[in-house]
Amino acid sequence: MLLLVLIAFGASVFYLYRQKFLNETQKDFVNNFTHEFKTPLAVIKIASEVLQQPDIAQKPERLHNYAGIIGEQTTHLQSQVQRLLEIAYTDRTSLALEKTAFSSLLMW
């Protein structure tokens, strides 16, 4: 009986630590993606503020430069959104499993 209790306790501790690890991984993922979205948005905001300055029309090279920055950051955001959608889609689809004889895996 004591052995059964110890096994159950060990399994509980194992699953507790596993859940904690998965929770930390999820937090890291969300924090990373938050950073990946906030940075380009901040750059786009600053570039758009520069483009709104009245004297920007007299400086076509600056105008072109800031328009390019907005384009690059928009492309970066689009790729991040696509990546996030692919991850979400992968989580929803089930993986195809293929039966293989264990002995065939051991043969070289």
User: What integer best gives the mean pLDDT of the chain?
Assistant: 87
The 8-class DSSP code of residue 94 comes to P
Closest by Cα among 32, 42, 35 to 87: 32
| pLDDT at residue 95 in the model | 61
Would you state the structure tokens that stand for residue 28, as one six-digit string?
């890291």
- Give residues with Cβ within 8 angstroms of 57, minimum separation 6: 63
- Give residues with Cβ within 8 angstroms of 70, minimum separation 6: 44, 47, 48, 51
Q: Tell me, what amino acid is at 73?
A: Q
41-93: pLDDT as tens digits: 999 999 999 999 999 889 999 999 999 999 999 999 999 999 888 888 877 76
